[in-house]
Amino acid sequence: MKQDLKKEIENIAKQAKAASRSLAVLSSATKDVVLKDMSAALLSKQASILKANQKDISKAHAKNKAFIDRLTLNEARIKQMADSLLDIAKLKDPVGQLIRAWDRPNGLSIKKVRSPIGVVAIIYESRPNVTADCIGLCFKSGNSVILRGGSEAINSNLGIYNILKEVMQKHGLMEGAINLIATTKHQAVDYLLKLNNYVDVVIPRGGEELINKVVALSRIPVIKHYKGICHVYVDENADLNMAENICFNAKCQRPGVCNAMESMLVHRDVAVRFLPGMLKKFKDAGVEIRGCAFTKRIANWVKLATQKDYHTEYSDLILSVKVVADLDAAIVHINEYGSHHSDSIVTDDNRAAEKFLQQVDSACVYLNASTRFTDGNQFGMGAEMGISTDKLHARGPMGLEELTTYKYIIHGNGQIRC
């Protein structure tokens, strides 16, 4: 039985590799027509997607609210998926894009151009919209894709995938261009991660446990982020009304996603003015606060935070709070306890802002804005493959350009090297 599964996964990878070669030379016009048809198909068949999603939700009733929110699809979210595919169609095709060109004294003409990576494997949890986003981005960037979603969203993922696959087939595109591993057996991932002869890169999207497993087992290069421990720092020169709105949005708009604020830092000179109202607003919204001793003195109902709290991605309505001595202390705290994902400063002091933006070592650093904008769609990328906190190849939201590598094209007229 294990041999059968291993062979099945290998065959999927082989098909994907073969399809990647035809996708690499597919015209931009063809890609855009297919993407538009995919968008229309999602909308016309949304009833079947919602029915499949309901099966997944009914099995997940014991999970927390943030988990259910990540899993849930509705008409608005299906429209967002469809709109993302349209947005991707409108974006410039990166394949063949000239990065740089120059001539050598010996007459060689050299061009550096973008080219597809090849086969991209996505291993993800909970959020079924990832299925459509990743198919759209990989297809537009000339890559074949192998999707392996979590068991909690298997019905939703299959529903979306089958609709998009039908569109691919209608256009006569090669089998293996888009693939979804339908089994929920954990061994499928183990087998997939060994297929470095066929798969060029793996992108895990999910919790720290999943990402650690992928990194430990993979023979294939991995682009990842381990955690989303995002901070908002309220400076002594902040507009406190703006700070309140930003902090509330960063924590409460969608607490279960990786760009939600997990830790709020407040300059001690404004803590007494800012925290009482801010903490009450959080409390009224059902947020559990775990704060430092200073925070607890301001609001005695706050739980005393531990060091572990400042290292924790809650993905829920839980927030750690710390009052810091100054900007330098905030920067040190973020670089030590953060996950180099997304961090924000609220301030009207240009010098403080510039120092924060330069010295915080994160993929996305904000001034006077919520961390919730770290998202490929919000950055104008149409959608995203994920958010990388790595420093090599890709960092931050991964869109079309991040799904390409490059090659050198050299034109000569008979040159030989002496």
**Hey, what are 93's tokens?**
């095709």
**Hey, what are 38's tokens?**
């995919």
- The pLDDT tens digits of the residues spanning 223-276 come to 998 789 999 999 999 999 999 999 999 999 999 889 999 999 999 999 999 999
- Range list for CATH 3.40.605.10 in the chain: 2-223+398-411
CA angle at 336 for the pair 331 and 340, rounded to the nearest 5° = 80
What are residue 406's DSSP bridge partners?
114
Residue 184 near residue 154 (C-beta atoms within 8 A): yes
Nearest in space to 267 (alpha carbons), one of 216, 320, 321, 318: 321
Q: Strands 230-234 and 342-346, how do they pair?
A: parallel
DSSP labels for 346-365?
Answer: E-S-HHHHHHHHHH--SSEE
Q: Which CATH superfamily is domain 2-223+398-411 in?
A: Aldehyde Dehydrogenase; Chain A, domain 1 (3.40.605.10)
**Hey, what are 198's tokens?**
């066929």
CATH number of 230-373: 3.40.309.10
| Residue 63: predicted pLDDT | 75
- Range list for CATH 3.40.309.10 in the chain: 230-373
What is the pTM (predicted TM-score) of this model? 0.88
Helices (H), 171-239: 187-192, 208-217
193 φ, ψ to 5°? -70, -10
**CA 215, CA 223: separation in Å to the nearest integer?**
9
**Hey, what are 205's tokens?**
């999207």
- The pLDDT tens digits of the residues spanning 335-388 come to 999 999 999 999 999 999 999 999 999 999 999 999 999 998 899 988 888 899
**Residue 28, C-beta contacts closer than 8 angstroms, at least 6 positions apart:** 93, 95
- The pLDDT tens digits of the residues spanning 25-80 come to 999 999 999 999 999 999 999 999 999 999 999 998 767 787 888 899 999 999 99
